[in-house]
Amino acid sequence: MLGGGKMKGGDAVSGGGSSNISPMVSFLLGAAVATVCVLFFMSASPGRSLVDVAAWSHNNGTAAQHHHHLRSVADDADAARNLSVVVAAPAPAPVQASPYGDLEEVLARAATADRTVIMTQINAAWTKPGSLLDLFFESFRTGEGGVARLLDHLVIVTMDPAAYAGCQLVHPHCYFLRTTGVDYRGEKFFMSKDYLEMMWGRNKFQQTILQLGYNFLFTDVDVMWFRDPFKHISMGADIAISSDVFMGDPYSLGNFPNGGFLFVRSCNKTIEFYRHWQAGRYRFFGKHEQDVFNLIKHDMTDRLGVAIQFLDTTYISGFCQLSRDLNKICTLHANCCVGLGAKLHDLRNVLDVWRNYTAAPVPDKRAGKFQWKVPGICIH
Ligand SMILES: *[C@@H]1O[C@H](CO)[C@@H](O)[C@H](O)[C@H]1NC(C)=O
Ligand SMILES: *[C@@H]1O[C@H](CO)[C@@H](O)[C@H](O)[C@H]1NC(C)=O
Ligand SMILES: *[C@@H]1O[C@H](CO)[C@@H](O)[C@H](O)[C@H]1NC(C)=O
Ligand SMILES: *[C@@H]1O[C@H](CO)[C@@H](O)[C@H](O)[C@H]1NC(C)=O
């Protein structure tokens, strides 16, 4: 099934002449997008609860610390038999702190009236002046049709204290996803153990958001937002996901998904979908979450009736399958592009062209006088 999808994707790429990169390579590159300056956090191993994953800042973590304390006691063989006593002892009436810290406050502040948030996830390297976060913001601010207003609904999930501090200087809705025991600031290489932890952790966090009753649009920070993308997300879609390669039919499961731009409506079906997705981590051990998505999507759409919309790259585009129509493009993702330097180089050029486009008189825009500067390092 997966293989078949890839073959079809290959046909589309070579047939359409929109890409000179082999479909397999482009698929892998798309998946590798997040390897640069990757964020990392300890995520669910089979026995772990949400509390471990969700130990948050602004919260001395009453629940989390208590939980960790129990775990460390339990890990000690001598003390294991005392565990029931420890558990049974009444807690000294702690102030009932949420296991998610201030996550719910941040979500409530940022959400639209219909409980939708836009989310991105960053680490320290991306908050430096001139780095991806700056370009990301600039795209909103130079965008058209009021896309800048969407910043009010953006929650920036930060992965380390420096990123959190950096975020707070520039944005009102920052959230610190606390991590333990690992250097989550470092680059994680595609398909390394840490990389898989990171991607699955992100997936688990998204499930948490759904369980809290919020719809989200997750965007990688290397996605430029030029126009409001929500108008291209169908009311009938439970999940809307961007495409590395779009085949023409938004509801065909043969499209190539890219989780770097992903809308999910909070409902029982989608929460169940995430449960199965997470379980797939162990069922298809060692696989990347995007691969597991491909492996379970047919089954899940049949069994759960989850409607998955694949977004048309004319509007929700990326370097893998570049939209050349600046009058239509809403978002542009630096996918099929490895390395922070390469992304920055090409996205800066993209913004230069976009600035000229927006400054031009309407007839010039309509006449299609503006084109992306190609080839760049990745864009072509
Ligand atoms: C967190 O705990 C530390 C020491 O345990 C205490 O000094 C500090 O006031 C606490 N902060 C909050 C926000 O509760
Ligand atoms: C376990 O319980 C025994 C007896 O009830 C006690 O002597 C011992 O100190 C306890 N150990 C721990 C780690 O609490
Ligand atoms: C969703 O699940 C909850 C808990 O299992 C159930 O009470 C509720 O009726 C379900 N809602 C729908 C719309 O199926
Ligand atoms: C933008 O417009 C200016 C002025 O016309 C021009 O000099 C520059 O080369 C343009 N930049 C791009 C990237 O098209």
What are the residue ranges in the chain where pLDDT is below 70? 1-97, 179-191
Query: Which of 72, 81, 82 to probe ligand 2 with, by most ligand atoms within 8 A of CB?
Result: 82
- Which 3-state string (H, E, C) describes 271-339? HHHHHHHHHHHHHCCCCCHHHHHHHHHHHHHHHHCCCEEECCCCCEEECCCCCCCCCCCCEEECCCCCC
pTM (predicted TM-score): 0.71
Domains of the chain: 1-59+101-370 (3.90.550.10), 65-97 (no CATH)
Residue bearing the CA closest to ligand 2, atom 1: 82
User: Tens of pLDDT along 187-236?
Assistant: 555 567 777 787 888 899 999 999 999 999 999 999 999 999 999 999 99
Query: Which of 347, 350, 356, 373 to probe ligand 4 with, by most ligand atoms within 8 A of CB?
Result: 356
Report the run of H or E that residue 263 belongs to, with start and end. Answer: strand 256-264
pLDDT recorded at residue 179: 59
Q: From the CA of 73, give the closest atom in ligand 2.
A: 13
pLDDT recorded at residue 61: 38
Ligand nearest to the CA of 57: 1
Residue bearing the CA closest to ligand 4, atom 13: 353
Assess contact for 244 and 176: CB atoms under 8 A: no
pLDDT recorded at residue 191: 61
pLDDT recorded at residue 188: 57
pLDDT recorded at residue 238: 97
Ligand nearest to the CA of 89: 2
Beta-sheet pairing, 223-225 with 256-264? unpaired
Ligand nearest to the CA of 95: 1
Ligand nearest to the CA of 79: 2
pLDDT recorded at residue 126: 82
pLDDT recorded at residue 99: 73
Residue bearing the CA closest to ligand 4, atom 3: 356
pLDDT recorded at residue 345: 97
**CB-defined site of ligand 2, < 6 Å:** 79, 82
Assess contact for 5 and 295: CB atoms under 8 A: no
Residue bearing the CA closest to ligand 4, atom 2: 356
pLDDT recorded at residue 125: 80
Residue bearing the CA closest to ligand 2, atom 11: 79
pLDDT recorded at residue 47: 31
